[in-house]
Every structure is written in C-alpha cells, then in structure tokens.
Amino acid sequence: MPQHQFVGLFTIQSEFHYDIVRKLYEGGMGIVYEAEQHGARGFIKRVAIKVIRQNYADQKQFIENFIGEAKLVADLIHTNIVQTYHLGQTQNVYFIAMELIRGVNLEQFSQQLAAKRTLLPVELAVFIVSRVARGLAYAHAKTDSQGRPLGIVHRDVSFKNIMIAFEGDVKLTDFGIAKARGFLVDNEGEVVAGKADYMSPEQANFKITDKRSDLFSAGVVLAHLLLGRNLFKGATAEESRKRMIEMPIPDFRALDPRVDDRLNEILHRALARNLDQRYPNADEMLYDLEHYIYHSGYGPTNETMGRFMRELFDQQVPAAPAQRTRGTTELLEPANIYASKKTK
C-alpha cells in the first residue's frame, strides 16, 4: 500500500521523557539545560531544553511569546539555524526541546580568543558572519502554509545568539523576541527589544524595524569579531543606544590594517544608518561576504572553522557551572520532564 494511504488511519500516542543532565546557560528570563530524550528500546538523544524562569511563568504575555517562539521556529529548518523539536508543558512550566550544539556562543568564543591571546583570522570572521547571513536570508524569506511572507525579523542578532559547534557549524539561535506576523505579541514602537550594543539605529530609536535591521546587527557582529571589541558598547544600555544612533562609523582600515578596501566597504554598507544605503536583503550581504572569501578560488569551510575551534579550546567543551542557582532548578525537580499526550 502506498505510504500516503496510511495518513489518518491511525494516531501515534506516546510520551516524551527528558532527563536533565546539566545547566548550559542562564539568561534573564530563561534557562537552557542539556538533557537526554528517551524513546523506545533504549533510544537516547541529547537535546537542549529551554525553560521559562519560574517568576515569569504566570505572566500571560511572556508565556504567549514563548509559545509563539516555539511555533515560529518549528518550521525554520536550516543548517545555520538551531532546530526546534518540541514544545511541552510540565508542572505548569513550558519548555522547548531544541538541537543541542556541542560548542560555544560567540561571547564564549571571544573570551577564549582573549584568554589565549589568539587573533581571529579575517577570513574566519567573514566566514562566521556569512553563515549568519545565510540563516537570516532563509528566515527572512520564510512563508506560511499559504505562501504568505511571515515577515520575520530576528531583532537580537548578537554574540550570545550565535553558536559555533566544534565541528565548525555556525548557527543562529533564540528567536524569543523576533517579529513575525501572527506568532508573537509585539509592542514595537513602544518598547525596545534586543541587546543595546548590537541593535540597529532604528531599533535603538524605538522605530519599526524590517529585515535590514538584522543586517546592521550582523555588521556589528563582524566588526566585533575583527576588532576584538564592540565599538558601540557603552557603560550603560542608554549610552550604547545613543552610540548606535549617533556615533560616526569609522574607517575600519585605520583600526585594523588587515581590513582592506573591499571589506571596509562591506562593513560600511552593512552599518549604514540610511536604510536606502544599507544592504536591502541578506542575500546581497551574503553574496558580498562569500565573494570576499572565495573569489580567489578557495576559502574557509566548516572543516577549517572546526579545526580552529578545536585547537582554540584544546578540544575541550567548556565546563558547565557546577553549582545550582537558587530559584532556578526547583522547577525541574526531580531531574526529569515528562511531556504528556496533551503537549502542544
């Protein structure tokens, strides 16, 4: 019997069982754990589990956005975006099961570069941001089941939300404050969302954003990777936003002699405050970045990036915090999660 004839003839009823292994990351509103997903006959898969902090669990708008994030990214299936597997609920706490990346985010990556006094090669900095641009190009072009554009804007392209695996894969994560039609509650224009030292000028100025906002943020990431510091970061969030809006964009050739004329042009186009002068879409930015590193016929690959990562970290995964932070782990005690048949 052809496979399609089985559709609708039976329903699979099962429970997902997750055992928490360790805490990976703790943010202001959520916590990410490494966990084991258990299945039939000894099946085990390592995943990441993102949960809402307990003090946000009863805030309706936050819960709606958390659910909206899961629904939004469920169909974002791309090699440069962290994959979402499952949205669940247990003990009145929502959680998202996601692809586990064996690696670090760019903040941890830059800290290791500084600790080992290692300079990131220009071509690898461009390679990393080119992969971010690939993920953004896919997300920005995503449509719903009727073919209507979702209008996704990530709005938080930053060091903490870009992962590098020890195999060299670069992945964009955390669409928690993304803008997309019909998925998340959005107060844009009334509140400012994102990290102040990576947001676009229009984002910092409480204006409505589109996909070009993410490209400015990607330009900030590229400049940060090249220079080893974020030019826009101020002592406070307010100062960072002011710099985003007012600070002159420098000649990067004067700040780093490795930056040539072409790379300086790419940076200035990505960081143009005039939207008409900025890259109109991620595809054009991607083309320029890839042409820059591959025009001579050979350039960095995932394998190149992976070798650099393994040498930088001595092939060691950074240790997770051993201590349990008060007020965070009780929402997962005992250390397992059962997602019932009624799980969304």
Shared domain check, 152 and 41: no
Shared domain check, 296 and 223: yes
Could you tell me the pTM of the whole model?
0.85
**Residue 290 belongs to some domain of the structure:** yes
**Residue 331 belongs to some domain of the structure:** yes
Number of domains in the chain: 2
Q: Is 156 known to be catalytic?
A: yes
Shared domain check, 329 and 245: no
d(CA 316, CA 274): 43
Shared domain check, 92 and 156: no
Shared domain check, 116 and 87: no
**Residue 37 belongs to some domain of the structure:** yes
From the list 156, 169, 174, 214, the catalytic residue is 156
Shared domain check, 172 and 107: yes
**Residue 6 belongs to some domain of the structure:** no
pLDDT values of the chain reduced to their tens digit, one per residue, 344 residues? 455 555 556 555 556 788 999 998 877 677 899 999 988 888 999 999 988 777 776 777 777 777 877 888 888 999 999 999 988 887 777 888 999 999 999 999 999 999 999 999 999 999 999 999 999 999 999 988 888 888 899 999 999 999 999 999 999 998 866 666 655 555 554 444 567 899 999 999 988 889 999 999 999 999 999 999 999 999 999 999 999 999 999 999 999 999 999 999 999 999 999 999 999 999 999 999 999 999 988 899 999 999 999 999 997 655 544 433 333 333 344 344 544 434 44
Shared domain check, 241 and 203: yes
Angle at 219 between CA 28 and CA 125, to 5 degrees: 95
Tell me if 267 sits within 8 A of 223, measured CB to CB.
yes
Give the pLDDT confidence of 5-36 residue by residue, as tens digits: 555 565 555 567 889 999 988 776 778 999 99
Shared domain check, 212 and 160: yes
**Residue 44 belongs to some domain of the structure:** yes
Distances 63 to 1, 66, 95, 174 between C-alpha atoms, Å: 43, 5, 10, 15
Shared domain check, 129 and 66: no
CATH number of the domain bearing residue 81: 3.30.200.20
Full strand arrangement of the beta sheet holding 170-172: 103-105, 162-165, 170-172
How large is the angle between the packed helices 211-227 and 106-115, nearest 10 degrees? 10
Shared domain check, 135 and 76: no
CATH number of the domain bearing residue 130: 1.10.510.10
Shared domain check, 229 and 287: yes
**Residue 221 belongs to some domain of the structure:** yes
**Residue 17 belongs to some domain of the structure:** yes
Give the pLDDT confidence of 137-160 residue by residue, as tens digits: 999 999 888 888 888 999 999 999
Shared domain check, 306 and 331: no
332: containing domain: 11-101+321-338
**Residue 4 belongs to some domain of the structure:** no
